Structure 1
């Protein structure tokens, strides 16, 4: 079994000196007091209280909106080179502050320090790439006759309202902020109140890098009230949301009332198709690092493993053995390979889904609840899961790998495509023909072939169907915050 290294500090009023002071950023000023009070931030490994995040009232939200509106008038006119300079300096500061930021992230989110350090590094790479895109976004101009010139101008869309989740509390804000700023937009962003420090430290790096007041404003508050207030404001011209499909649909409905452009990156339930012409043990060993990264709390996490019947049992054995050896511990412990779940909601959901699968004659091969303090759950592998199980239809968003055998290619493609989700999928095969045809038949925005990676800071990142629309990555990310304007001069 996985070894447990849980902290014994379960105090509800203890604070950790490694956790930064929380504040909102409104019009260039740090605001530590919220007009709607505050909310405690809990360490999911120890259940101790890390600090208190201020919650904005309507007056503070209006101040942030007004600041973004004023700043847009000047930031949009800043040269692309100067906008890029601010972003590059902020990326450098993130790298310099890696240990401080990674420690805060692990304390509030639970993920192992190694993963938090990687998140800081990747966030800095994202910002650097998007800074470069600020200087690579051009319009076009053509001449028609002796006196007529037709120009397609590329311009920033305007102030943005952005909403980000708790599972990647630095990467997601970095993507949204850097793309918007590179395009010449300003932003009011509401990160998740359960993991606020990561976004606060990102904002601190931007301020220290010379970002003018009001260009980025960070607020916290009761999610439904804040989102409704920000989206309804005439100041906001664009809405960007990353989170659950159900909330994303609500955000889109709010934005539609003002015909405001939206970008949605929503839930997933990624299928993995493993054919019998690959080494099932090698695929299982590769799957471990991806499936249990961030305790499975990732929209692109591989979850539904459809494995050819000829290699299914061998795959399950290898995956279960490797999962059972993972070290589950407080993420602050350098030995941790998987930390706790981020909140008790995920713990309850994982328990419910496993009970349902077991009740439908699936085999829980390894995993289960762990004793002690914190929201810990052992990496779990469930074999021979029917497609009607709750876990095969509801995104587990936790450390659960589900397997099911298949024999026919057309059948398994249909099973992979049957859900409304369409974010990511993975295919493992030794056949060049299969590798070419199956990914094109999968109804998703991204497919990994013979590996579990999905691009990098310079590539498209987005889904289809109820997994949303638009891109959070690559040059397309900057385009999400731009409009095209036709200028026809005679």
Structure 2
């Protein structure tokens, strides 16, 4: 049986745990019923400045720590996460709503990030340039300095781990601001790093008013880079703040993933893949397959098969073993999703499944809309919920035009058995990540990031490590 919720929520600053003395609090709720499950202390401006100064002091110590020692601490962190996986997963499900199996998978994926970067830092080679005898020119990588990370609630531990593992491996000190909605599952990472022996001040975790935290940390002279995952409008706002202090920034922003389904695909196999992916984490996934463009010859069969499978998705409390989709993460989401569905229906879309909120909590039924007009809001705004929208297409060029129509460019997917077409799809689709006959686009060794309004820079892979480094050329005659 999963363990209960950890109610002793704290901040982690300069190597010590801080509780609620004279601090404001945030009410953490379970999205299944909306009931409060814990109170979270929020950082003050003084807390944030103390964290930044601690990160400044700790940076040279961690920067000069041998990569083997850094790797040992990262691997130990991964081991602690795996050992506590059931407890962390239960906390995550109660905070965020996703089924327990998905929470366990998220803990495992988070641990894999620390294992991978523990080894990758050993392969962080520079290069020696060709010069005349007696001269040397070398190119080397160095950590950028103290960094601040900002992460959302949809994958609270994994998105945090993806940033923190790479930054620590690179030799940076880190201040992380996870989401206030999911503090217990992210606090588990701070506990694991602390128990793994990370030196004081190298990693710190704060919660608080997003505007206060971002403005204070970005303006602080100690912070040399931020990494943000979240919405496009907020990302643009943070980028403007970074301009004043010339702070480097990596942005992983919103998406509206197209899925191009061609008539030569194995339709049943494709449906068995796309329906669970669409409703994974109740559609609250930045790379969630959302806009389904289906070749006209198989469009009706696709709709029939999708609707049948959607009706079979078991919705309920994520702690129950038979639940396949939990609630949305907060009370704002069902109303927002409902408004998008109503707008699409009013403009001519056909509702084939779902379309309604649940009877209690923050639930919304898995939904399929067909023949959705291009001027419907949901065809242009990221729904971030359990709604699939679909249209038919005739030609390859038409499919590409629709896939690239929006300013987003995070992820895209396509299903075809034609090898030549697969090659063309990979080249023609404007996205940072393209999955062809697969949704496996986010692993520890692969870069994850978007283009256009979906941001820039990558996390994961060697590119994620490089995002926390500066390049230095040293010339000696």
Q: TM-score, normalised by structure 1?
A: 0.95
The separation in 1 between residues aligned to 2:303 and 2:93, in whole angstroms, is 31
Tell me by how many angstroms 1:484 deviates. 0.8
Q: Distance in 2 between matches of 1:367 and 1:201?
A: 36
Where does residue 458 of structure 2 map in the other structure?
Answer: 471
* Structure-1 separation of matches of 2:6 and 2:425: 46
2:302 is equivalent to residue 315 of structure 1: yes
Superposed displacement of residue 406, structure 1? 0.6
Partner of residue 199, structure 2: 212
> Secondary structure in 2 aligned to 1:369?
coil
2:152 corresponds to which residue? 165
Give the structure 1 partner of residue 430 of structure 2: 443
Q: Which moved more, 1:399-408 or 1:372-381?
A: 372-381
* Aligned-partner Cα distance in 1 for 2:101–2:282: 13
Q: Which residue of 2 aligns with 1:376?
A: 363
Counterpart residue number, 1:3: none
1:121 paired with 2:108, answer yes
How many Å separate the matches in 1 of 2:398 and 2:451?
21
Judge conservation of contact 2:264–2:417 (CA < 8 Å) in 1.
yes
Answer yes or no: is 1:98 the counterpart of 2:50.
Answer: no
CA RMSD of the aligned region, Å? 1.2
Whether 1:198 and 2:185 are equivalent positions in the alignment is: yes
Distance 2:21 2:88 in 1: 23
Q: In the aligned structure 2, how far is the partner of 1:20 from the partner of 1:215? A: 25
Instruction: Return the offset for 1:382.
Output: 0.4
How far is 1:142 from its partner? 4.1
| Partner of residue 226 from structure 1, selected from 186, 201, 213 | 213
Pairing 1:13-28 to 2, within 5 Å after superposition = 17-28=4-15
SS of 2:453's equivalent? helix
Instruction: Select the residue among 431, 435, 444 that pairs with 2:418.
Output: 431
Alignment map for 1:165-314 (pairs within 5 Å): 165-314=152-301
Contact map agreement 1:366 1:381 (CA 8 A) in 2 = yes
Describe the SS at the equivalent of 1:368. coil
CA distance in 1 between counterparts of 2:5 and 2:226 reads 33
Can you give the 5+ residue segments of structure 2 that lack an aligned partner in the other structure?
Answer: none
Query: Which residue is 1:398 aligned to?
Result: 385
Residue in 2 aligned with 1:43? 30
1:354-380 CA distance string (max 9 Å, x none): 000110111110013244321011110
Report if aligned partners of 1:35, 1:60 keep a CA contact under 8 Å in 2.
Answer: no
> Which secondary structure does the structure 1 equivalent of 2:111 belong to?
helix
SS at match of 1:167: coil
Native 8 Å contact 1:36 1:221 kept in 2: no
Which residue in the other structure is 1:457 paired with? 444
Shift of the alpha carbon at 1:451? 1.9
**What is the alpha-carbon distance in structure 2 between the residues aligned to residue 79 and residue 215 of structure 1?**
15
2:373 counterpart SS class: coil
Partner of 1:7: none
Equivalent-residue separation in structure 1 for 2:65 and 2:262 (angstroms): 53
Q: Deviations over 1:23-60 (max 9, x none)?
A: 11000100112654111101000211111111111110
Query: Residues 298-338 of structure 1: CA distance to partner in whole angstroms, max 9, x if unpaired?
Result: 00000000001111110011011101101100111111100
CA distance in 1, matches of 2:206, 2:22: 11
Match of 1:153 among 140, 148, 151: 140
CA deviation after TM superposition for structure 1 residue 143, in Å: 6.2
Give the match for residue 342 of structure 2: 355
Task: Write the distance in 1 (CA, Å) between the matches of 2:23 and 2:455.
Answer: 32
Query: Is the 1:423–1:444 Cα contact (8 Å) retained in structure 2?
Result: yes
- Give 2:121's aligned residue: 134
How far, CA to CA, are the matches of 2:140 and 2:68 in structure 1? 18
How many residues align? The count is: 475
* Aligned mates of 1:140, 1:431 — CA distance in 2: 41
**Hey, what's the Cα distance between the residues in 2 that align with 1:386 and 1:39?**
40
- Structure 1 gaps of 5+ residues are 1-15
- Residue of structure 2 equivalent to 1:335: 322
| Contact 2:358/2:365, CA 8 A, preserved across alignment | no
* TM-score of the aligned structures, taking structure 2 as reference length: 0.98
Q: CA deviation at 1:283?
A: 1.4
Return the alpha-carbon distance in structure 2 between the equivalents of residues 430 and 335 of structure 1. Answer: 33
CA distance in 2, matches of 1:76, 1:34: 33
1:2-21 matches, cutoff 5 A: 17-21=4-8
Higher mean C-alpha deviation, range 388-397 or range 406-415: 406-415
Change (3 A) 1:259 1:35: farther
Q: 2: CA distance between counterparts of 1:354 and 1:25?
A: 42
- Is residue 164–residue 173 contact of structure 1 (8 Å, CA) maintained in 2? yes
Per the alignment, in what secondary structure is the counterpart of residue 408 of structure 2? coil
